[in-house]
Chain A
Amino acid sequence: MRPSFAIALSLLALAVALLSLSTSATGSMEPGVVADDVGGIVRDVDPDGFAWQEGVRPGQRVVELVRADQAGGWALETTDGVHAFRVNIQAAEASLRVTAAAGLAAVVLALLGLATARTRRRRAELLAVLGIVFAALPFAVVHVAPVGQATLLGAGIAPVVWIARWLPMRTPVRIALVSTGGAIAIPWLLHPGGVQPLGNILNQAWGLAIIAGTVAMVAVGTGMTPTRVLQTIAAIRVVDAAVIAAAAIVVVGLFVFGLPPVFVVVVVLLPLATYARARATIGQMLDRLLLAELRERAAIHATEEERARLSREIHDSPLQAIAGVIQQLEQQPDTSAARDSLRSVAAQLRTVATDLHPPVLDDLGLVPALEGVVRQATGDIEATMTVTNETGYTRSERPPPDVELAVYRIVQEALTNAARHSGGSHVIIEGLVAPTRIDLDVVDDGVGIDESRIDAAMRAGHMGVASMRRRAAAIDAQLEHVALQPRGTRVSVRWSG
């Protein structure tokens, strides 16, 4: 199954959850109205009740009123002098059914999204988690058990698990984070009073602040230094932050201020309008923030395409022409010196073409290409390779070309770094290459380099490691630098198709 399927599924879950959320404002079974009899006025309207959603406000004149214990159930018609407002229990019940069904569908889709996001898709998992959180909100309002309770529990724990999974931190911190989150979330949900209505969102925000504080204390107490936290925050992608911020705005708008469902559309349209008006300033900034990574990837891609094209061009034209001319000259006497010169030119062209884009990579695949790199490894470091090769020479028995090229460049860069910067004497490439899986380690015996030193190197302008990361991200592979004890560095690249 292609990884993008999980993203699509999670996006769908999020959309359905938002749909469910937009109908849930009228999902309460309580009208939340205090009103006089016909002819009098509406005294008070609770924003949590379904009447508020339909535009019933204090001060409006009551035109018609059917009490809940009478036939047909509760119904109210009011007017503010210009418009009439009608609201009844049947509409609220219908809305409730839509909310519950859509919420349930969102939960199922989000769970499917989580289950299929098996190739370590950070974005897909985040979307699925958000889907669960959003799906939980309507259930929180209307108290639908037991799906609602389960979803709420998931909404409490899933983000914590997601954060623990994706932020670089030590295993004990991970465990502490998840267990703390679970320990707080479960009793909070199973409290005899049940879930507080979201009208008390400020109380819950206070509760969340307490959870966050506890988590922070546990994290710092078990060894996450403040620097590490800051680095971690800096590593959160702009897109992720934007999605979370938009979600927060929608939730606050819908539940705290009781804005109508159309508000969701406004939230989506507003930034677009702003963008058009303030294109010169904010536009450029947004563009840099959101598209810089994309553009860099495109630049890498374009560069590689161009290098491959040039390499092929050298192969197809001058190299062939020289070979042809040499064979023609073979028939003429006294051309031996000229032939030798031409052979030396051909050798130079071969070197240029290979440096641009190794022909072995296209013709034979990743493992032979890496063998070539290892064989030609120069400098003070000795390189060896022990890789289990489950690929063949033909295309169908190999990983996709873009994956082969990205992994080739990553390993090449790792070898270069080991030779130039590690100060070690030996580097080994080990692991496995299969058509749908690559699992390679480049291990040297020099100075240990871990992720934090890599971050520092990137900030200092070391473009090599930055491009390794981008290449890994472009093929959805995992790249990791680990400092070994007592010495050495392991660079791991893992990919699965």
Chain B
Amino acid sequence: MKIQVLLVDDHPLVVDGIRAALRDHPEIEVAGQASSLSEARQLLSSIDSDVVLLDLRLPDGSGIDLLQEARDSVSGPAFLVLSSFLTDEYVSAAIALGASGFLLKTSPADEIVAAIKQTAEGGLAFTFEQIRASQRAAWAPLTEREHVILDGVLRGRSNDELTGDLGVSKKTVEAYLSRLFARYGVMTRTELAIHVEREQLLDLPVTARRTETDR
């Protein structure tokens, strides 16, 4: 089964370049390409893909909006941001919004291919430096699901039990957990639990919670 990739970018030179870079990798197939936010939304609803290569700056809006919309979906593709700018703030935002990786468009083709394969498996493609920088994203409000999962982790519930609590697949729970690990820069459930307890993450201010439910 080939990895199905969607390209969301409005610059033909970049699209051609990425297509050329992926040509040597028969295990990856470009299933579709969008050059605007609206085209991307259509594509996402019509094609089942594994990974979306997403540019943040699109002619009719921001890729951030797309990440925001996809943030709470149970299934759906992994988002790999492919941007012209890369700073800690961008990485923080991408992690807070549930992206699975963040690369510059000028990155070596090998790195892009490796990131696609990694995220297609449900993994993350952030570098260690990026994850460290992402701790700045801690102020971004938690989603309802993230809150339930953190609460479960704190009460020592297993992944299987969490699967039952949320009514989602085991793979989804694992994906949520790896995102939360990345977000708080921790490696294990225990570390995550300690972090949650120490930072009182479950007692976030009401305003932050309200912002979350408004979304």
Contact = CB atoms under 8 A, between A and B. Distances in A.
Contacts of A330: 17, 20-21, 108-109
Q: Which of B56, B65, B85 has the most CB of A within 10 A?
A: B85
B117 interface: no
A170 interface: no
Contact of A320 (B14, B207, B208, B211): B14
A75 B7 CA distance: 91
Given A327-B18, A363-B90, A393 B13 contact: no
Contacts of A346: 106
Given A323-B17, A328-B16, A364 B136 contact: no
Interface string B53-84: 00011000010110010000000000000001
Given A350-B84, A363-B56, A389-B139, A331 B207 contact: no
A372 B89 contact: yes
A342 B85 contact: no
A270 to B, nearest CB: 53
Given A320-B14, A393-B97, A364 B64 contact: yes
Contact of A393 (B14, B93, B205): B93
B62 A350 contact: no
Contacts of A371: 88-89, 136
A320 B57 CA distance: 11
A346 B18 CA distance: 17
Contacts of A323: 11, 13-14, 17, 84, 104-106
- Could you tell me the dominant secondary structure of chain A's interface residues? helix
Nearest to A364: B93
Nearest to B97: A393
Nearest to A347: B106
B106 A322 contact: yes
B106 A343 contact: yes
B105 A360 contact: no
A322 B84 CA distance: 10
A394 B65 CA distance: 6
B17 A325 contact: yes
A323 B104 CA distance: 9
Contacts of B20: 327-328, 330-331
Nearest to A350: B85
A393 B64 contact: yes
Interface in A375-402: 375, 388-390, 392-395, 397
A35 interface: no
Contacts of A368: 89-90, 92-93
Contact of A328 (B17, B97, B207): B17
A394 B211 contact: no
Contacts of B56: 363
B11 A372 contact: no
A342 B65 contact: no
Contacts of A325: 13, 17
A395 B62 CA distance: 9
Nearest to B19: A327
Given A325-B17, A369-B89, A393-B68, 7 more contacts: A323-B106, A330-B20, A331-B21, A360-B87, A360-B90, A389-B139, A397-B211
Interface of B: 11-18, 20-21, 23-24, 56-57, 62, 64-65, 68, 84-85, 87-90, 92-93, 96-97, 104-106, 108-109, 136, 139, 205, 207-208, 211, 215
